[in-house]
Amino acid sequence: MPNPSFNAISCSDEKVWSSNTGRSKSAYMNGSIVQVKKTRQLSFPPLTRAELDKLNGVINNASKPWHSIKLEDTSGNTVFSFSCYFGTPSWTAYSGARDCRYFINYKVDAIER
């Protein structure tokens, strides 16, 4: 699988609330946070057709929906690591010089399991 672009991982943490979460009659918020789910949006550099097919093959593999993601810094220290599934990818088809096809702006969410 191709590596994401340099500086192209966006991070968000979503609160997962308890099943009794909601507003009371007086509009007071009830419930508690039971977990914080990580989502990492991965963006990739321009891809060839072969790279696009390989990436989509991994992301859309119904027989292996769970993946392990690990990001390390240049010293080999783990920045983050988690088990995830991939959301729906998006990309733009771009025709370059000499009728070569490239695919740009490829993005997909890696959502914590």
Give the pLDDT band (50/70/90) at residue 12: very high
Q: How far apart are CA 69 and CA 110, in angstroms?
A: 8
Q: How far apart are CA 63 and CA 95, in angstroms?
A: 33
> For residue range 78-113, what is the model confidence (pLDDT) as tens digits?
888 889 999 999 998 876 656 667 888 999 999 998
Number of neighbouring beta carbons within 10 Å of residue 61:
11
> For residue range 16-49, what is the model confidence (pLDDT) as tens digits?
999 999 999 999 999 999 999 999 999 999 998 8
**Nearest of 12, 8, 55 to residue 37 by alpha carbon:** 12
Q: How far is CA 20 from CA 17, 24, 58, in A?
A: 8, 11, 37
Three-state secondary structure call for residue 97: helix
